[in-house]
A and B are shown apart, each in its own frame.
Chain A
Amino acid sequence: MLMNAFRIAVTEIFRNLTRSMLTALGILIGVAAVIAMVGLGQGATAAIEGDLEAMGNNLIFVTPGVSQRGPSPRAQAPPLTVRDAEAIRQQVSHVVAVTPVANAAATLVYGDEEVDTTVNGGGLDWFAVADWEVVEGRKPTQGEMISGAAVCVLGDTVREALFGGEAALGAKIRVNKMSCEVIGLTEVKGTNTMGMEQDDFVFVPIATAHRRLLGNTDVSSILVSADHTSNIDSVTQETESLLRQRRNIASNTSDNFSVSDTREMAEMIRGITNILTAFLGAVAGVSLLVGGIGIMNIMLVSVTERTREIGIRMAIGALERDVLTQFLVEAGLLSAMGGGLGVAMGLLGSWGGAKLMDVPFVFNMPVTLGALAFSAVVGVVFGWYPARKAARMEPIDALRHT
């Protein structure tokens, strides 16, 4: 009987294919939207996590001040020093690389070309911590680092702006008022998912930055690289207690600096994307519901149109149950058909969207199967009322229906 109900349902669906397709469209769009939204959301999350990883290996940031919000704590907190970074390197275990960082805005000039960018003053470890490869030329030598030599390594955006197709290595450029030699070029990382231009910087030894560009010895942050992800917590704790000691903070006072790592940022961003994904998913879910109502509507029309057929079936021996099954199967199949096409469209959409947004394509099996199952359930739930209406007909009235 069930086999037969399937056959009848397929026949009915194909008999009025246009109407069936339009009916299933609501479900199709709903399912496609759910899958595309969730897929893109997860793709974006994965991309951002990738970006954070690209910022450095098992990275921990140390910044002066408690909060970045509001000027007062930062203003009161004494700056970090190069010696703080040295102390962390020597006293905190599981640390593989440490670099102090001093940033400054600068205008770079070469010939007629001029570009504004950020100067990253750092130690030699900067390349390891921030995960930069020098692909042409070289890094500064130990001697150049200590003496604060006028040498610099260019990010690709800066190189392109100043030199275009010309050779950059060995050229003398001006960084603000300082003249310096280009000794190295870094790999191209491009724009990350958050829209940050990663190649827009110039690196100089921190001593150079302090002496020739900033005129002070402040360190705006210290970047620490732990040897393994599992040791990030212990490195964070040891760094904290070391700095409290070095900065003479009484045990009853809170830190006037903060130590954070990329996992916290990842956690926060994941939280935001999860909320967005859930929100968009819910909107898509509503369209599934609307699709279900569309199915109920068409099934009601179909039941009315086929009243006579229902009467014939009942007269020749169909039980209430048989008629109910027939219409439920039809509604479920109609809906599942929309769901199936919706899955295809959704995957296609999230694949295309991922390409367009330059995020990885994530195939989520549970969500896909869930959306498919949910669409069939929607069909059965919304098909139930029309099917019951058909099954409850009095055969004599149904037969008289014209």
Chain B
Amino acid sequence: MSPLIQVRGVHRVYGMGEAEVRALDGVDLDLEKGGFTTLMGPSGSGKSTMLNIIGCLDEPTEGSYMLEGVEMVGLGRKERALVRREKLGFVFQGFNLLARSTALENVELPLIYQGFSAAERKKRATEALDQVGLASRAGHLPSEMSGGQQQRVAIARAIVTQPEILLADEPTGNLDTKTSHEVMQLLQRLNRDDGITIIMVSHEPEMMVYTDFIVRFRDGRVESTEIVDHPEESSC
């Protein structure tokens, strides 16, 4: 059986001629269902570009990307939007909540585009907020919440559609250490308890302990792949 994500010979080139930037320069990558993977590397190494391509937000200049055995390269705008809608959830570094909508409304948003009734939306969004421990803050605006809370709302918004894959771009990049650990614990729980495949971009080594696999990028290529030991668990 083919892996959940299969990337072959992917190049991504921005600009033309002199100003040409090779963000990805021939990447092969297999990611299995149910894993929690960190894409690591210095800035400019291509890790975020890879995440965007996996998230169908960006397209490779060259190469193949199969999601669940289906080729994603060459799909139209609408098909890619449908893949995002049905299979993917996104968490961003800057939270990207709609500032003028309450926590609940933000979480409901993806369900609106999926065509759920108002009652069903409210039920599911409340459940998702409950999952991230913020049911009590449903009526608050993002500006009335701490960074950690905002990111947890964003995570609730990403999982409310029960996606196959959760894509997180530097989810702890804007958070302090304590909240970062809380958010990472939440992601880990979603991965372990609910079986959501998570792919995260990060350059903070201390966050890696929550994940299972590390893919290191350098100069647009995969430098190494490793499995993370979880000593504290094996010792238990």
Contact = CB atoms under 8 A, between A and B. Distances in A.
A1 B82 CA distance: 16
Contact of B113 (A1, A308, A311): A1
Contacts, number: 57
SS class, residues of chain A in contact with chain B: helix
Given A313-B109, A396-B57, A396-B58, A320 B77 contact: yes
B98 A309 contact: yes
Contacts of B52: 396
A53 B234 CA distance: 107
B100 A314 contact: no
A151 B86 CA distance: 101
A36 to B, nearest CB: 37
Contact of B85 (A4, A309, A317): A317
A399 B92 contact: yes
Q: How large is the interface on B (under 10, 10 to 19, 20 to 34, 35 or more residues)?
A: 20 to 34
Interface string A1-35: 10010000001000100000000000000000000
Interface string B63-84: 0000000000000011001101
A322 interface: yes
A316 B110 contact: yes
A318 B57 CA distance: 12
Nearest to B169: A399
Of A311, A317, A396, the most chain B CB neighbours within 10 A belong to A317
Given A1-B112, A396-B52, A399-B57, A15 B82 contact: no
Interface in A290-332: 308-309, 311-320, 322
A346 interface: no
B114 interface: yes
Contacts of B109: 313, 316
Interface residues of A, number: 20
B115 A308 contact: no
Contacts of A313: 109, 113
B96 interface: yes
A395 B55 CA distance: 11
B108 to A, nearest CB: 10
A4 B117 CA distance: 11
Contacts of A312: 96, 98
Contacts of A315: 55, 57, 84, 90, 96
A351 B100 CA distance: 42
Contact of A320 (B81, B89, B158): B81
B38 interface: no
B78 A316 contact: no
Given A1-B112, A396-B52, A316 B90 contact: yes
Nearest to A322: B113
Interface of B: 52, 55, 57-58, 77-78, 81-82, 84-86, 89-90, 92, 96, 98, 100, 109-110, 112-115, 157-158, 161
Give me the 4 closest cross-chain CB pairs, A-B, nearest first.
Answer: A317-B85, A317-B113, A396-B57, A316-B110
